[in-house]
Amino acid sequence: MYPKNCWYVAAHAHEITDQIFARTILNQAVIIWRAADGSIAALEDRCPHRLVPLSTGKTVDGLVECGYHGLRFDSGGACAMVPGQDTTPKNIKVQKFPVAERHALIWIWMGAADLADEDLIPDLHWMDAPGWAATTGYLHFKCDYRLINDNLLDLSHETYIHKHTIGNDAVADSPVMTEVIGDRVVRAHREMPNIDPPPFFAMAQGNDKPINRWQIAIYMAPGFNMTEAAFHTVGTDRTRDHFMMRPIHIITPETDHSSHYIWGLARNFQLDDDELNDRIYEATQQTFMEDRELLEIQDQRLRAEGMPKLPQLPVKVDKAPVQGRKLLEAMIQAEQDDPNFCLPPVMLADDDVVTQPFAVAAE
Amino acid sequence: MYPKNCWYVAAHAHEITDQIFARTILNQAVIIWRAADGSIAALEDRCPHRLVPLSTGKTVDGLVECGYHGLRFDSGGACAMVPGQDTTPKNIKVQKFPVAERHALIWIWMGAADLADEDLIPDLHWMDAPGWAATTGYLHFKCDYRLINDNLLDLSHETYIHKHTIGNDAVADSPVMTEVIGDRVVRAHREMPNIDPPPFFAMAQGNDKPINRWQIAIYMAPGFNMTEAAFHTVGTDRTRDHFMMRPIHIITPETDHSSHYIWGLARNFQLDDDELNDRIYEATQQTFMEDRELLEIQDQRLRAEGMPKLPQLPVKVDKAPVQGRKLLEAMIQAEQDDPNFCLPPVMLADDDVVTQPFAVAAE
Amino acid sequence: MYPKNCWYVAAHAHEITDQIFARTILNQAVIIWRAADGSIAALEDRCPHRLVPLSTGKTVDGLVECGYHGLRFDSGGACAMVPGQDTTPKNIKVQKFPVAERHALIWIWMGAADLADEDLIPDLHWMDAPGWAATTGYLHFKCDYRLINDNLLDLSHETYIHKHTIGNDAVADSPVMTEVIGDRVVRAHREMPNIDPPPFFAMAQGNDKPINRWQIAIYMAPGFNMTEAAFHTVGTDRTRDHFMMRPIHIITPETDHSSHYIWGLARNFQLDDDELNDRIYEATQQTFMEDRELLEIQDQRLRAEGMPKLPQLPVKVDKAPVQGRKLLEAMIQAEQDDPNFCLPPVMLADDDVVTQPFAVAAE
C-alpha cells in the first residue's frame, strides 16, 4: 500500500560509489552505482538470462557484470557484452529506474518512468544546506512503513518508549495543535513553556535556566517526516535566540512489512563539533532502535490479525496520525484512478519563519 | 482441538508477581499479574488502541500500562487512564479472564466466563499438601499437547526413550491393566514384583534388597497426568512401608502445535532434603527433555502428513492412550453440542487407599 | 520434476554401515543400513505405529528398532517384534526400496520396484576402477537439482564464479562443440591448444611448458555429470602422454528445492599420492561451494518468480544446458505416458578412446 509515482530516497549519497549497491525498494530489488561518467545508475537487480541477481557480480569499467555468466549491462540497462559470442542481442536488457542526487540523498522513481520530473523531489535541504549540520544514519525496520509514520506523528509515545532518553511526562501531557497543509502534509505542534531544560538542552544553552520548548511533528506522504525540536531561554527572543534541531526521518518501503529508515538530524548550532556529531549519532540510533523494537512487535500482531485498520479505537493524540493516513490513502487512490497522477511536494518548513506559540487553542 | 470450558494451569503460583507475566494459552495471548490488593488478574495481551501487546509495558500502582502510548487498564480490563486527555472512554476495554490460585498453581478459564466455577478446579493437592514435598519445573514443548498425553499414558516408551535414566526392559515387558473412571480419567497400572531396585530406589530404601515395584499412569482430560511410581521392600507391608512419588504433569496447550509442560514431582519421603530436591529437578528436566526431542520430531512429521489420527496401527500398549483420546474427544464434542457443557473433575488418587496388585489378570 | 524409474545414488558406499543412515531422496525420507548378512537395506523412514521416523532409533542384531516404542523391522520392512505382546501383526510393515552397491556407491530405486533391474545402473567405474584414483566428497545444496546440471553443462561460468581457482578468460572465450548421444547424454567439448599451464597442471606435468588442454562436460539425465579435464605437453602424444581428471558429479534430488551433491574426482596419475588427495578434496569442496552460493540465490529468485523456464533469453553458451533439459524433460514425459518406461544408461566415456580435437568447427 504505497504510491509509486513519487520520488523515494534509496540511500544516502555517500553510500553510492562505483561499486554495486543493492537494495529492495517497493518490493523491487534494484542495484545502484556510479557509472564511468559519475552519473547515478539504477537497474533491476535481475539478470534476464538466468534470473540471478546482478548484485552477485561486480562493476567493470562502469558496466555491471553478472556474477554467473559474465553478461555486462550499461547504466541504461542495455547488454554491452555476452561472453562466448561476438554479438549482443538487443532483447537482452534490464529495466532501468530514474534516479537523482539531491540534498546528499539518492532519489529513485519506481512508478511510470516518463513522469519522473526532478521538480517533484521534496525539499530536504537541511541535509546539506549552509547554516545546518546534519548527522546521518540508517536502520532497517521489519514493519510496514506506515507504522513508522504513525509513530512519528504522535510524539506522546516518547514518554513511554523513550522514557530513558528524550521523553518525560511533559510531552504526553501537553496539548497538541494539528493542521493539514495542502494535500500532502500534516503538522502536530506542541508548546512546553517555562520548563526545566532536559540534559541535552542544558548542555546546548550552557546552563540550567528555564526554557520555552516546542516540538513540531511534520509528515509529508508517503514517508517524509521532520520532527522539529527547539527551545530558547526564558526571557530571550524566540526568533533570534532559539536553538533548533530538525531530525529528518525518511521512511522508504522495502516490502509490505519492512522499511528503510534513512535519517539525518540537522541542527543550527555547534556546526563543526565532531564530538557532538558522534554523540548525536549514538543517541539517535539508540532512540530509533527503541521504536523499532515496539513497531516490529506491532507489525507481527497486525499481520496475525489480518492487518486491521489503525487506530482501532482513536484517542485524542491520534488526531495527527489519522489525518496523515487520510492524506496517504487519498494519494494512493488518486494514482489508482489516474495512472498519470503525481502530487507535487509541499514545503516542510520555511527557514525564514520561526513558528510562534499557538494562536488558537490546541485541541 | 481442546475444550475451552475447563480450568487450565497458566503457571506456578510463585511465577506470578506484581509485574507482568505474559503467556499464550489456547492460542490466546494473556498477561497475568497480582493487582494492588494481591488478587490475581488476567487480561488479553492486546491494547485495543493500536493493537500492541500490553506486555510491552509495565505495571504502575497495580494497573497495567501499555508500552506504546501509556494507556492504563485495571484488573477488570477497564481503561483507567489515557494520556493527553481527561476522560477515559468506556469503549476502550480489554477482555479479562477468570483466574484462581490453588495448589500452588495459577488457574485460568478461557471459555465462557460465567461458567467459571472454582469447584471445577481439579484436585492437585500433592503440589503443596502436608506429608508431601514437591519439586517443580517448567518446559516448553513445540508439539500438540495430545502427543504428550499419549506419551504419558504409555510408559512402555521409557524403555526406549529413557534407556539411560529410568527405563529398563522390565517396564516394556510387564503387563498393563487399564481402567476408565467416570467420563474423564484413564488409569494404566503395571506391577513389577520382586525385582532388583534401580539406583534411585536403592538410594531411597537405603539398601539393595529386592523390591515390589508398581507404576500407575493416570490421565484426566484435557491435560492432567499423574504417573505414580512406588515400591516397598519385599517382605514389608505395601500399605504402610511404601515409598511413593507422584509426578504431576500438567499439559496446557499454548497453540495447536506447542504446549506448556508445568510439572511437580511430589514424594512422601525425605521431605526436607534440599539436595534431593536439586537432584530430582535436574533428573526430571533431563528426562522430559528426552521426551520433548522425540515428540517435537513426531509433531513435525504429523503436520507434514496433514495430522492423521493416531495411532495408525494400534498395538497392545496403545490401549490406555486410545481410551484417553476417546475421553478427550467426547469432552470436546459435548462442548460443541452444548456451549454450557462443563465436565466436573474426578479424583486422581485417594491418599487413604494404596493401590493393591492386580485383582484380575492384566490384558 | 524428476523421473522415478531410474537408479539414483543415495550415498558413498563407505557411508553405509550397520548403523542407521537417514537421508531424504525424491521427497521421501529413507533409512539405509547393512543388515546382519552384510546386504544393504533401505526402508521408508517412518514407523507405521505412531509415525515417528525410524531414524530416531538404532539397529539391533541387524534389525531397525523405532526410537519411541521399540517396534523392530527387518530389511524387508516386516515387523519382527512389538514390545509388550507376543505376536507381530502382519499389517504393521514398512515400505522397502530396491538398493544396490556398485562403483563404491549405494544406489536406490524410488520408482516401481519391479522395474529395478541392476543392469540399468549407470557405469561410473572411475570411482573405484584400476588405473584411477578417486577423491570423494559430499555437499548439500539448497536448490533444484536441475540448476546444478545447467551449471555443469556450461563451464563458461568458471570464468566468473571460479575466478580465484580454476577459471580464466580462456574458458569463457573458447568455442564449444555440443553433441547429443542417444536419448540421455549431452557432451560439450572445448579445446584450448597451446596455452600456458595453470598452476595445478604445471604441478602435474612437473614443468611450465605450454600445454594443449581440453575440457568435456558430459551430462546423463537425470543427474549424472562428468567434466573431463585433460592436457598434454605440446609436442607429446595426446593419446599416450595425457594427464586426465574425470570429476564425477552425482546430483540426487532431495526435495524440489534441495539436492545431494555426491562427487568423486578420478585421476589417472599420481594414484597413491595421499597429500594430493587432500589437496584435491579441499580445492574441490571450495570450488563447489562457490557454485552453491550462487545456485542457492538463483533458486530463491526462481521460486519468488514462480519457477519460470530457464534460460529466459538463451545465449550461445546455453546450447548444451538447453539440450540437457530437453533430454530430461523427455525422460520425465515418457514415464508419465508409460509408468513402465525405463531408459537404459549410455556410456559416459570410453577409456580406450581419447577424444581428439574438433573434427568439425565448433558452433
pLDDT in tens, C293-340: 999 999 999 999 999 998 888 888 899 999 999 999 999 999 999 999
Identify the closest residue of chain B to A150 by CA–CA distance: B50
DSSP B36: T
Residue B360 lies in a domain: no
Which residue in A46, A65, A68 is closest to C161 by CB distance?
A68
Q: Hey, are the CB atoms on C89 and B159 less than 8 Å from each other? A: no
Domain enclosing residue C254, as ranges: 124-337
What type of residue is B293? E
The count of CB pairs under 8 A between chains A and C is 73
Q: Hey, are the CB atoms on A50 and C157 less than 8 Å from each other? A: no
pLDDT in tens, C30-74: 999 999 999 999 999 999 999 999 999 999 999 999 999 999 999
The pLDDT value given to residue B361: 47
Tell me: do C128 and C112 sit in the same domain: no
At residue C143, the 3 state secondary structure works out as coil
Is there a contact between B202 and B208 (Cβ–Cβ < 8 Å)? yes
Of B118, B144, B163, the domain-final residue: B118
Tell me: do A172 and A74 sit in the same domain: no
Of C118, C147, C177, the domain-final residue: C118
Which residue in B52, B82, B91 is closest to A298 by CB distance?
B52
pLDDT band, residue B294 (cuts 50/70/90): very high
Is there a contact between C95 and C54 (Cβ–Cβ < 8 Å)? no
Q: Hey, are the CB atoms on C312 and A46 less than 8 Å from each other? A: no
Residue C202 lies in a domain: yes
- Asked if residue B73 has pLDDT above 60, the reply is yes
pLDDT in tens, A309-354: 988 888 888 999 999 999 999 999 999 999 999 999 999 999 999 9
Tell me: do B72 and B13 sit in the same domain: yes
Provide DSSP, A251-309. Answer: EEEEETTEEEEEEEEEESSSTT-HHHHHHHHHHHHHHHHHHHHHHHHHHHHHHHTT---
Tell me the ipTM for this assembly.
Answer: 0.91
Residue tagged 522514557 (cell numbers): A163
Is there a contact between A160 and A303 (Cβ–Cβ < 8 Å)? no
Tell me: do B108 and B154 sit in the same domain: no
The pLDDT value given to residue C362: 47
Selection from B362, B142, B95 nearest residue B256 by Cα: B142
Tell me: do C166 and C297 sit in the same domain: yes
Strand pairing report for C258-267 and C185-195:
unpaired
Which residues, in sequence order, are bridge partners of residue C81? C72
Length of chain B: 363
What is the pTM (predicted TM-score) of this model? 0.93
Which residue in C156, C310, C311 is closest to A83 by CB distance?
C156
Neighbours of chain B (3+ CB pairs under 8 A): A, C
Tell me: do A130 and A167 sit in the same domain: yes
pLDDT in tens, A239-292: 999 999 999 999 999 999 999 999 999 999 999 999 999 999 999 999 999 999
C51 touches chain B (CB under 8 A): yes
CA atoms within 13 A on the CB side of B77: 17
Residue tagged 500532502 (cell numbers): A184
Residue B345 lies in a domain: no
Residue C251 lies in a domain: yes
Distance CA C185, CA C338 (A): 21
Say which CATH number the domain at B175 has.
Answer: 3.90.380.10
Which residue in C53, C66, C84 is closest to B316 by CB distance?
C84
pLDDT in tens, B196-237: 888 778 888 889 999 999 999 999 999 999 999 999 999 999
- Asked if residue A363 has pLDDT above 90, the reply is no
Region C263-280: what's the mean pLDDT?
94
Which residue in A157, A175, A176 is closest to B69 by CB distance?
A157
B159 touches chain C (CB under 8 A): yes
Residue B343 lies in a domain: no
DSSP A78: B
pLDDT band, residue A167 (cuts 50/70/90): low
B312 touches chain C (CB under 8 A): yes
Identify the closest residue of chain A to B85 by CA–CA distance: A316
The rounded mean pLDDT for chain C is 93
Tell me: do C152 and C197 sit in the same domain: yes
Strand pairing report for C28-34 and B211-220:
unpaired
The b-or-e profile of C263-277 (16+ CB within 10 A means b, else e) is bbbbbbeeeeeeebb
Of A118, A137, A155, the domain-final residue: A118
Is there a contact between A172 and A156 (Cβ–Cβ < 8 Å)? yes
Alpha helices in chain B (DSSP H): 145-153, 158-161, 169-173, 199-205, 238-241, 274-304, 319-337
Distance CA A297, CA A317 (A): 21
pLDDT in tens, A30-89: 999 999 999 999 999 999 999 999 999 999 999 999 999 999 999 999 999 998 888 888
pLDDT in tens, C10-28: 999 999 999 999 999 999 9
Residue B43 lies in a domain: yes
At residue C340, the 3 state secondary structure works out as coil
Residue C71 lies in a domain: yes
Cis peptide before B222 (omega within 30 of 0): yes
Lowest-pLDDT range of C12-16, C202-206, C253-257: C202-206
Region B311-327: what's the mean pLDDT?
92
Tell me: do B96 and B231 sit in the same domain: no
- Asked if residue B56 has pLDDT above 90, the reply is yes
C positions 122-151 inside 8 Å of A (CB):
150
Tell me: do B52 and B140 sit in the same domain: no
- Asked if residue A220 has pLDDT above 70, the reply is yes
Tell me: do A178 and A322 sit in the same domain: yes
The whole-angstrom distance between C328's CA and the closest CA on chain B is 29
Per the structure, how many domains does chain C have? 2
Identify the closest residue of chain C to A69 by CA–CA distance: C157
Which residue in A298, A311, A316 is closest to B85 by CB distance?
A316
Grid coordinates of B290: 528426552
CA A322 to chain centre: 19
Say which CATH number the domain at A24 has.
Answer: 2.102.10.10
Beta-strand runs (E) in chain A: 7-12, 21-25, 28-34, 40-44, 58-60, 63-65, 72-73, 79-81, 99-102, 105-109, 133-141, 176-181, 185-195, 211-220, 224-233, 243-255, 258-267
C157 touches chain A (CB under 8 A): yes
Q: Hey, are the CB atoms on A160 and B84 less than 8 Å from each other? A: no
Q: Hey, are the CB atoms on C156 and A82 less than 8 Å from each other? A: no
Sheet containing C21-25: order of strands: C21-25, C28-34, C40-44
The pLDDT value given to residue C171: 62
How many Cβ atoms from other residues are within 10 Å of residue C219's Cβ? 29
Tell me: do C78 and C218 sit in the same domain: no
pLDDT band, residue C182 (cuts 50/70/90): very high
Is there a contact between C22 and C45 (Cβ–Cβ < 8 Å)? yes
- Asked if residue C169 has pLDDT above 80, the reply is no
B65 touches chain A (CB under 8 A): yes
Chain B residues close to A175, C-beta within 8 Å? 84
Return the sign of the alpha-carbon dihedral for residues C203, C206, C210, C213: negative
Neighbours of chain C (3+ CB pairs under 8 A): A, B
Distance CA A117, CA B181 (A): 80
Chain A residues close to C304, C-beta within 8 Å? none
Tell me: do A217 and A278 sit in the same domain: yes
B positions 66-95 inside 8 Å of A (CB):
66-71, 82-85, 89, 91-92
Cis peptide before B357 (omega within 30 of 0): no
The pLDDT value given to residue C156: 77
Grid coordinates of C278: 587432500
Residue A359 lies in a domain: no
Distance CA A121, CA A7 (A): 6
